[in-house]
Amino acid sequence: MIKPKTQLKALPLSNASEKLPPLRLPKGFTDSTKEAINKLRDQLRYYAVVDIRSQKFLITKNDIVIAHRLRDVNVGDELRLNRVLELGSKDYTIKGQPFVSEAFYNIKATVLEQPK
């Protein structure tokens, strides 16, 4: 049996050419955590491991992800991916327990195709 798939275009974090301003985290995070996050943000390329309907996907900017059919979404809808297991770059990695705090990232995806 072939299950219908949904295509998503991942738009994580930022353009590789942009340098991000230092992150202002809510209270409760240690200085070492803030420093680690800002070191990661200074990197040029990022990746994220996200959970979409209990499937793990390693994504980078402009990736196309083919996931199981998503309910209640339409072509063109922008989704906020908030189940991130890991964020990283060439030099740094942040792993969630089980998920990375949403204060550290803003990852969006656009629905490109939704099978009937």
Mean of pLDDT over the chain: 80
Place of tokens 């705090």: 101
Q: Which residues partner with 68 through β-bridges? A: 5
| Total domains present in the chain | 1
Q: Which residues partner with 115 through β-bridges? A: none
Per DSSP, the residues of 4-51 read: PEEEEEEEES--TTPPPPPP-PPTT--HHHHHHHHHHHTSS--EEEEE
Dump pLDDT digits (tens) for 75-104: 999 999 999 999 988 888 889 899 988 888
User: Positive or negative CA dihedral for 106, 83, 35, 42?
Assistant: negative
Please give the pLDDT value at position 14: 45
Domain residues for 12?
Answer: 5-113
